[in-house]
């Protein structure tokens, strides 16, 4: 991991005080890296095919469905983060997704970002395994 990332240090209070859209901002990237890594691990595809496969996981409607699938396996703290992420006012109107799907996708990304900022990497692994292995 990059030294700069290793040096990032936020205490739990600081992270909890962040706008959930900040969590979603970083969570989107972390989520995408997991998805892309998973897809390339399955082997032998063109970059176009890799992209088409990744869309199945990263589009808002898919993330909304994924959240519904894993929701009961989340802790109460994680469910609270999901609620905060979903209820945050956004200033973006999705063009290819319903507002409900977009808000739920943002909530999933917020959860991943929240866990990432707290360096709860093992829990991110567990959640991403639920998502990716459940998709087989």
Is 28 catalytic? The answer is yes
Report whether 53 contacts 38 (CB < 8 A): no
Strands (E), 16-120: none
Give dist(CA 4, CA 97) in Å, integer: 35
Spell out where the chain has E strands. Answer: none
d(CA 109, CA 115): 10
Q: Which of 54, 28, 52 is nearest to 39 (CA)?
A: 54
DSSP 116: H
Q: Which one is catalytic: 3, 14, 28, 122? A: 28
Q: How many CB atoms lie within 10 A of CB 111?
A: 29
Catalytic residues: 28
């Amino acid at each position: 991991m990059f030294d700069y990332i290793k040096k990032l240090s936020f205490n739990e209070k600081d992270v909890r005080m962040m706008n959930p859209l900040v969590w979603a901002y970083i969570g989107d990237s972390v989520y995408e890296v997991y998805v892309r890594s998973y897809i390339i691990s399955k082997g032998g595809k063109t970059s176009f095919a890799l992209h088409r496969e990744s869309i199945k996981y990263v589009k808002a409607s898919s993330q909304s469905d994924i959240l519904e699938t894993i929701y009961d396996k989340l802790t109460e703290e994680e469910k609270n983060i999901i609620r905060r992420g979903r209820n945050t006012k956004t200033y973006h109107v999705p063009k290819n997704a319903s507002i409900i799907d977009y808000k739920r996708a943002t909530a999933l990304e917020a959860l991943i970002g929240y866990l990432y900022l707290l360096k709860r990497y093992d829990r991110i692994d567990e959640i991403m395994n639920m998502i990716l292995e459940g998709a087989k």
